Each structure stands twice: as C-alpha cells, then as structure tokens.
Structure 1
Amino acid sequence: MRKTLIVTNDFPPRPGGIQAFLHSMALRLDPRRVVVYASTWKRDAEGREATARFDAEQPFPVVRDRATMLLPTPRVSRRATALLREHGCTAVWFGAAAPLGLLAPALRAAGAERLVATTHGHESGWARLPASRQLLRRIGEHTDTLTYLGEYHRERIARALTPAAAARMTQLTPGVDEKTFHPDSGGAAVRAALGLAERPVVVCVSRLVPRKGQDTLIRAMPRVLAAHPDAVLLIVGGGPYRADLEKLAVTTGVAAAVRFTGEVPWEELPAHYGAGDVFAMPCRTRRGGLDVEGLGIVYLEASATGLPVIGGDSGGAPDAVLEGETGWVVGAGAASAPAETAERLVALLADAELRRRMGERGRAWVEERWRWDHLADRLRELL
C-alpha cells in the first residue's frame, strides 16, 4: 500500500457512523503508512482536551486543521499538499467524497499517484441538484475511484458522473467488529441498572434526528403495549430531536414505557444493544430524497449482538437486513408505518424461538460478509 494521506471532516472523537468507519479502517492499515488530516472537533477546552487525548492514542499521526469543518478552500488545499509532501505520501483517501474530493487536482499535481474518494449517503443527494451534481462530476473525473455503499447509491451517484468515472466506481462498505459486538456484550447488566430485567425491551441505538424514525417507534408503542403491557422502548443516543420525541411520548400516552439514555460512550454501546430483545430503527427518506440512510451499520451491529432487527426502507438500509432471515424492513415513510412496525415488534416479542433464529442468522451473516478485516483488505487494494 502506498503511504496515504487521509483527508476528512469525519474523524473521532467527533461521534458518528462515518467517523467510526474511517477510524476502524485506518486502524487496520499499516500505521507507518498513514497520516490523517482532519478538522477540529470542538474549540472549547473540553473538546480540545478530548481531541488531544484521542490523537495521542493513535498509532499514526493526526494533524488537526484549525477549522471545525474542512472545505476545499485554497488554504486547506495548501495545507493538504504540504502534508502530502512532508510525509512522503503518494496516495490520498478522501473520507467523504463531497466536498473534499474537489481537492484532488491540487493533490495530484503535488505528487499523489492514487486518489480514492468514499461516498456515503449525502452524495446521492448531491447527484439530484444541478449545481452539486456538477461538483460531484468534477470529483469523479479527478479521482481514480469513487466508492459506494450499495446499489441504491451507486445508481444515483453514477448518473452524475461521466461514463468513464462511473465505470471506475467500486463498492466499499463499513464493517462490524464481531469481537466487540457479540451476544454476551453485557446487556443483562444494563437491563438491571435501568430496572428492565424482567421486561420485554425494544432498543434503538442511533442519533436522534427525524430521519432515523424514533417517532415511528413511539407511535407504534400503543399497539405494542396492548399485546405486551410490560414492554419498554429504550432509545439510546443523543441529538436535536430528543425534545420532540419526549413530547410525542407524552401526547401518545406511552411516556412511562419509553426510556431515553442520552449519549452513551462508544465502549458501552455493545452492552446497550445487548439490553434489547429486538432492535428497531425504522429510518425514512426525507427532503425529496436528499436525506437518506447511507447503509445503517446499526442493523449489523445489532445482528452481531444476536438480535433480530427491524429497519426502514431508506437508501441503503435494506442492504443491512436479510428480509425474513435477520429481520424485516418496513415502509417507514408511509402513513401506515407505525402499524406495520408494531405488527413486526409484537410478533418478535411473542416468539422467543423466532428471535433466537433471526439473531443467530444475523450473527453468522456478519461473520461471513461484514468483518472489518475483509473490508480493510479491499481498501488496501484500492490504495
């Protein structure tokens, strides 16, 4: 593998799925051949301290820009090209193709021999709008390959590219650490600490934003409680949608059956998955297709933990669920979504054997298809 400069806005300790993806991949590359150029997470003292502590723990250099968001400006271009030359890098991996892939021509001129740009969910939105579509086309022309998560995104992004650039696209997905996410991850202790030891638990682990569909779960709870009066919806994560969700739980009359944990440290997430009997995140597509799910790695983490999953029909989310085998996908954007979601939850909570069978199939699928080591080999080939 060429020595590689990773240019990204999305890197821990900033939380998020893309951040976890990039960090997990970077850790599986040769640390002597990796340099990271990333944005600053937070400017306050606590944020600076957390970032400095995180960066010092990494096996490769992490260079932070002063900006909290990297943009393809002349200043950022100069800094990136200087780092490329200083560290003797001949490859560049853009953690998210848009917009930082626009730096590709300058980095190519500075000596980069291989330029890889990874797309997630938002580039599918870029492909729909005339101005951003042209920028995405430029990124495709000046990089060696754009990666994609699944067929949903490949089709939409390819329409914005030249035929040659579309032909160079290749799949690269996030993975799951099956040694971290497993059935004995500590869920019983979390249930006991929350007073849920003897109750049926539906768990949702995700950032609290409208696309993720936690409101659909809350609206489904009256039907779930009618069949399983002791059931609890455990919502794990933080985000700007929390206040609205709390109000919805009150107006729906299910506040006593909905628990919010707030943000949970990454190392405690496996145990919080394990606290559930069923995992559900009925994500939806919003803003006319501009806001869609990239893949939904949470479904795979839940499967690795041995849970059946209920996903939403948004973007690449269905790629993370084997329909009828590891769980089900519901039409989360429809008016009937709460009823459909409730029907699936009720069936799963009533059938321990079905939960066991789906959980075991999901665990096996993760081990077969979604292990980080296999996916990191693919990234090394691309670089």
Structure 2
Amino acid sequence: MSVKQMNEKILVLTSDFPPTSGGIQTIISETFRRFENKNIIIIAPAHPHSQEFDKLYPIPILRCKFLKPFTFFPFTLTHIFKKSFMFTFFGILPLIRIIKSYKCSFLICGHIAVSPLALLVRRLFGLPYLTFVYAMEILCLPKECIRRKVLQILFQNSTKVITISKFSIDEIRKFGVAKGNIIKIPLGYPCFPESEENLGEGGKIEDGEFKILTVGRLVERKGHDKVLEALSLLRKKRYKIKYVIVGEGPMKQNLLTLCKKFGVEKQVEFIGNVTYSQTPFYYKMCDLFIMPSRYIKAKKDVEGFGLVYLEANFFGKPVIAGRSGGVPDAVIEGVTGFLVDPENPKEIANAIIKLFENPDLAKKMGEQGRRRVMEEFTWERAARIIEENLMAVSKGNKGCTMYDDTKRVNMG
C-alpha cells in the first residue's frame, strides 16, 4: 500500500500555525502542506487575519478559540503546563465532537503543550497520537520533579515522537523514550514568496563594506552581544565591516548600550522587524551570516536547530554559528560554515577574519551550503518520513523510518 492509498484520516492539533510567524509555525505548515495523503484536518488557533491564509492552504483548517498561540517568552515549564491545562479543560469537548464527526484515525500534536489533550482522547477512544518535540520545552528537569513525570507519561503514551536534531533526540531519550520510537525529520529550505514590497530604507548600508548579518529575535541566546564584542576586537585592524541586525526583542536596549561601550555604533545597523517576503533582500545583501547561539541554562533556552542557517545557505552565504543545542545539525563545520564557542568573542572574531580575508573560501562554503540545502533539506522529505511511519503504525509495525544525515551530499 502506498502513502497515497492510505484511507486513515489524520487530525493535526497545533497551538502554533500561520498567519502568526515562527519556526514551529513554519515546520507544521510546510510539512503537512506536502503530505501525499490529503485526508488531513488541521485544528489551529483562531486568528483575526487567518481567512486569506486558510483560503490558499491546500488542507482544511478548523480555527478553534480554545487554542492560543504558544509563546516561549518568558519561557518556563510552568508556562507550558498552564497552557496545557487550559487547552485540555476548554478543548476536550470540541475535540471529541470533531473526532466523531470526521472519524479520525490518528492525532498529531504540533507541540507538547497540546499532548495532554491527545492523551485524554487516547484514553477515551484509543486514538494513537504522535507528538512534535523541538528542544526548549523538554530540557532536563530534576528526576523527582512532578512535571518531569507528567512529560514521561505523555511521551510513553505517544505512539511516536517527531523531532529535528540529534540534540533533541538525546534530550527525549532522557525521558525513557526508546530510540525506535523517535522520528527525526529534516527541515526544509525556505519558500520565500516573490514580492515587490517596499524594503524600507535599508539603513546606512554602503557598497564596499563587508556585511555580516543576523536575523532573529533579540534575545540572549542568539549571541548578538558576543558579535558586538568580537567587532570591538577587530577595530584595530580597521576592517570595513558592517553588522546588520534584523529583528526586535527584549535585548535591544542592552545591545544599543553595548554598541556604545565597545565603540562600534557606526558599524552596527538595527533594521527592526521585516516581513517574511522582505527577508531575502538582507540575505542577498550580506557577505556572511552570523548567529553564535548559546545554551542559557538558567533560562532553559537553547537553539533546537536554527532554520536561519539553512536560509542563509540557501542564498549561498557562509555562516558562523554557535556550537550548542541542535545547531551542529544545521551547519557542517568547515564545509558550510564555522562552528565556534559561542561564549568566546576572540574565536568569533577569528572566524570573521578568516572569511573576510579569504573570499574564495567564503564563496566555496556558501556554494556548498546551498547545494546541501537543496539536496538534503526539503519539506517533501520531512512529509514522506512522517507518512511512512504513519503507514507502518497502521499496519501494526513498530519500526521507525528516520532521516539519516550521516550520508552527506557530495561537496566536491
């Protein structure tokens, strides 16, 4: 039986879905858009501007008020459990009506926060569920912590756990999940819409400058502060470098203060938020993408993968990334970019110098990155892997089809 011949109806329950933006929203929407089995219904949060998106999306979407977009800021496990309780309390009756109406065979949770609702449905109807897990939401808790025990119950009752990196696999296994029950999927390269939108003034970016770029929320883990410190170390060399920062966030004022402290105000341009269709302009404009993400243990804040590294590679740009979390899955050291100690400004500065002084190396890394993204990271592959596992479960097989990134594409 092929994937297309599967008759089982799949219900996708997610607290994160467009038109709100974010990594999880992209993963869920782009993966299920490419399912060959079109017997899918997506249950997503109500949104005042969802009508246009829903009209163009190839799969039916039910917008429900009991779901609310999940935010990691501020991120705490208490926040997740409060959300989970709210989803379960207000969502169980509407979800039961939907399941009975559509006669669904599988339930897929786009976030661990909706898994308690799926567990309750499994207890009532025996409906198997799969759960997406990223990284931040499951970082290790003390063994005696009751929240950890709740997560263990959710994982043990989940037919399969879907994740995106070796780092997150290691974290999931700490909850007693067998490796054979974990599905690792590749993320896909970006699908930016073609647009003639006004790109804004573009700041004081000048031709002839070596332009480095960071795209991301201005939060501590992204490492903007360490890039600023690295730039201060390069001032004596009088390199003509411009650092362009796209995004907004709670760290902005602190970063502005650091610019003055390090004497790099004239080298740094804060662009602010841009639309998704405007983002390609900045990737094309830059010579190097940099985001030395780090693990902030006190806040349980870490990069589960880092889609922006793939986006930069997609546009043929080399990257400098922090050696932390799931980032090593996104960047091949010395091939598509450099992995650095995210707490070491000197190491970051040396990586910038190496690419600044070796344009041929920078070009080669960018080309290799683009080739890898185009061949290895597609949403179609992610969709097929999940569908193959669903088909195996429907046949009663316990095996697990998994994305294997040990076979690297030829970079020659």
TM-score tier by shorter-chain length is 0.7 to 0.9
Counterpart of 1:343 in structure 2 is: 350
8 Å contact from structure 1 (residues 127, 156) kept in 2: no
Residue 378 of structure 1, CA deviation: 0.8
Residue 289 of structure 1, CA deviation: 7.5
Residue 153 of structure 1, CA deviation: 1.7
Render the CA deviation track for 1:131-154: whole Å, top value 9, x for unaligned: 222122111121110122222221
Corresponding residue to 1:325 among 335, 339, 353: 335
Counterpart of 2:43 in structure 1 is: 37
Residue 116 of structure 1, CA deviation: 1.2
Distance 1:204 1:356 in 2: 18
Go from structure 1 to structure 2 and tell me whether the alpha carbon gap of 1:216 and 1:185 turns closer, same or farther (over 3 Å shift). Answer: farther
My pick for the range that moved more, 138-147 or 29-38, is: 29-38
Percent identity of equivalent pairs: 28
- Counterpart of 2:216, as a letter, is S
1:167 and 2:180 equivalent?
A: yes
- Counterpart of 2:51, as a letter, is A
Counterpart of 1:19 in structure 2 is: 25
1:106 and 2:106 equivalent?
A: no
8 Å contact from structure 2 (residues 161, 183) kept in 1: yes
Residue 322 of structure 1, CA deviation: 0.7
Counterpart of 2:301 in structure 1 is: 291
Corresponding residue to 2:16 among 10, 15, 18: 10
Residue 194 of structure 1, CA deviation: 5.1
8 Å contact from structure 1 (residues 38, 64) kept in 2: yes
Normalising to structure 1: TM-score of the pair? 0.87
Mapping 1:192-231, distance limit 5 Å: 195-231=205-241
1:122 and 2:129 equivalent?
A: no
8 Å contact from structure 1 (residues 89, 112) kept in 2: no
8 Å contact from structure 2 (residues 317, 362) kept in 1: yes
Distance 2:349 2:201 in 1: 22
My pick for the range that moved more, 140-149 or 64-73, is: 64-73
- RMSD in angstroms over aligned alpha carbons? 2.6
My pick for the range that moved more, 250-259 or 58-67, is: 58-67
8 Å contact from structure 2 (residues 213, 289) kept in 1: yes
- Counterpart of 1:19, as a letter, is Q
1:135 and 2:143 equivalent?
A: no
Corresponding residue to 2:255 among 224, 229, 245: 245
Render the CA deviation track for 1:105-126: whole Å, top value 9, x for unaligned: 3322565644211110123315
- Counterpart of 1:377, as a letter, is R
8 Å contact from structure 1 (residues 322, 328) kept in 2: yes
8 Å contact from structure 1 (residues 279, 307) kept in 2: yes
- Counterpart of 2:351, as a letter, is R
8 Å contact from structure 2 (residues 195, 277) kept in 1: no
1:85 and 2:100 equivalent?
A: yes
- Counterpart of 1:243, as a letter, is Q
Size of the aligned set, in residue pairs, is: 365
- Counterpart of 1:290, as a letter, is K
8 Å contact from structure 1 (residues 37, 63) kept in 2: yes
Moved runs in structure 1, 4+ residues, more than 6 A? 189-193
Distance 1:211 1:3 in 2: 39
8 Å contact from structure 1 (residues 199, 230) kept in 2: yes
Distance 2:348 2:200 in 1: 25
- Say which SS state the counterpart of residue 73 (structure 1) adopts: helix
8 Å contact from structure 1 (residues 202, 232) kept in 2: yes
Unaligned 5+ runs, structure 2: 1-5, 70-82, 391-412
Distance 1:62 1:86 in 2: 15
Corresponding residue to 1:232 among 235, 242, 267: 242
Unaligned 5+ runs, structure 1: 42-47
